[in-house]
Structure 1
């Protein structure tokens, strides 16, 4: 058990999973504050991203990705929706970036903020929310009528 929590070893190669960077969905969640763990500007963040969406975007970008069943320490909710930690191999064994487009952790998070809203699953949700708004508008008028009785 003690071997699992070993000190950082500079001898480990970048290709070993322990050296891959970690990204939690909270890092790019526009609903979170900086104190709650958001790490990129709010205007570049995404509303409630999931670890599946992060994995899909990074896999499409050609990165080596691993998903772990971990919960972010600052996350208040213990629901399955908020679980998931993504590990990404950022550098090759000689220390150079695997993908020149992503030299740093911040560049990966900003890329996620741009690409997640363009996913088909997200576009479908936005399209289906328009009809529901018109329905909720008519439902709201019915509720007002009941309240006046």
Structure 2
């Protein structure tokens, strides 16, 4: 996964995906690039990397990088993913990913299906059922 881009022409074939691009908790001004209803709640760069690697794309995660507009320096908000969309001859690596937007929407669709996400979701449901207070606080946040 640790792939260094040395050739400037090679860099053009890679796109950058920051987690904020698909984060439903962020506003457009904060950097979200897709509609919030299609976004994912607080995705991590490793989740994005896992989803795109499983899709068969050439991906590497740069966990030390940060989105420039992100004011919060927590580890949760760090990282970016570099994704290769085009081959050296300019042809697409995969036909289903013709643009950046295709990648963003695919990531937002697939992250909730990850096993790590389904385990977290199941735990939240059981805690909400144990007490009425949990349910009320969830509604206030909306």
Q: Stretches of 4+ moved more than 6 A in 1?
A: none
Check the 8 A contact 2:52/2:59 in 1, yes or no: yes
User: What TM-score, normalized by structure 2, do the two folds share?
Assistant: 0.84
**Aligned with 2:81: secondary structure?**
strand
2:35 aligns with: 41
Q: 1:135 pairs with 126, 130, 135, which one?
A: 130
* Equivalent pair of 1:12/1:19 in contact (CA under 8 Å): no
Larger Cα-atom Rg: 1
TM-score, length basis structure 1: 0.80
3-state DSSP of counterpart to 1:54: helix
Query: Following TM superposition, by how much is the alpha carbon of 1:39 offset from its aligned partner in structure 2, in angstroms?
Result: 0.3
Change (3 A) 1:21 1:139: closer
Contact kept? 1:28, 1:113, Cα under 8 Å: yes
Counterpart mapping for 1:92-131 below 5 A: 92-131=87-126
SS, match of residue 96 in structure 1: coil
**Residues 71 and 84, structure 1, Cα contact 8 Å, conserved in 2:** yes
The aligned residue for residue 78 of structure 1 is 73
CA RMSD of aligned residues (A): 1.8
Which whole-Å deviations, capped at 9, do the CAs of 1:97-120 have from their partners, x for residues lacking one? 100010101000000011001111
